[in-house]
A and B are shown apart, each in its own frame.
Chain A
Amino acid sequence: EIVLTQSPATLSLSPGERATLSCRASQSINIYLAWYQQKPGLAPRLLIYDAYNRATGIPARFSGSASGTDFTLTISSLEPEDFAVYYCQQRNSWPLTFGGGTMVEL
């Protein structure tokens, strides 16, 4: 099973600041990594797929990158609505796995 380790667990930032979230895979997953945002009481929302690609309707301030087994989600300038929990997910092999999440808090 591929383990995804997200760091940090919590990121305390202010609106306008840059957020950098990390997801490290325990083995190669090619670029088959997605990022989701989840707000309290709501379902996850797809932000990035296949490491780099923004999903439909996702603002350009969200970007994804990859280097080997290390993946990064960057929010260039935090908006008030961006404070949430972010999860990564790999689709390279079964079982599908999610990271433990990073909370971006005010």
Chain B
Amino acid sequence: EGQLLESGGGLVQPGGSLRLSCAASRFTFNNYAMTWVRQTPGKGLEWVSSITNNGDRRTYADSVKGRFTISRDNSKNTLHLQMNSLRAEDTAVYYCAKDRIPEYGGIWTFDSWGHGTLVTVSS
């Protein structure tokens, strides 16, 4: 299993932007699809966005489509989530997660998760 470390969370005003990063290690990053999942404090898990291993396919939850952009830099073993036009309901802990096996197209079952980074959207 790999190691994932998120960064970039913080307090932002409604309408603002943040860029989350997820540094990957201990696995061959460019072989694995990756995903962002968020969790509202005290609540359940919500899938946000996923990207295939080479970045050619990206999928988004309706709640973030048009506002968030997932990307990856395979040369730097890093996953990103650019979040624009943030809303109060985007407040959550954001986790990056790694697919269980290296498969083109992704299998969307997650065997490694980061510790999460907290995003708070408030004025």
Contacts and interface: CB of A to CB of B under 8 A. Distances in A.
A89 B39 CA distance: 14
Contacts of B35: 96
A50 B109 contact: yes
Given A43-B114, A43-B115, A56-B1, A96 B108 contact: yes
Contacts of A56: 1, 111
Contact of A49 (B50, B59, B62, B109): B109
Given A43-B115, A87-B44, A94 B59 contact: yes
Interface stretch (A13-21, A70-78, A97-105): A97-105
Contacts of A91: 107-109
B29 interface: no
B117 to A, nearest CB: 11
B111 A55 contact: yes
Interface majority SS on A: helix, strand, loop or mixed?
loop
A23 interface: no
B11 interface: no
A11 to B, nearest CB: 16
Contacts of A97: 47
A94 B35 CA distance: 13
Interface of B: 1, 35, 37, 44-47, 50, 59, 61-62, 95, 100, 107-111, 113-116
For the complex of A and B, 6 pairs with smallest distance between CB atoms: A43-B113, A91-B108, A96-B47, A98-B45, A49-B109, A46-B111
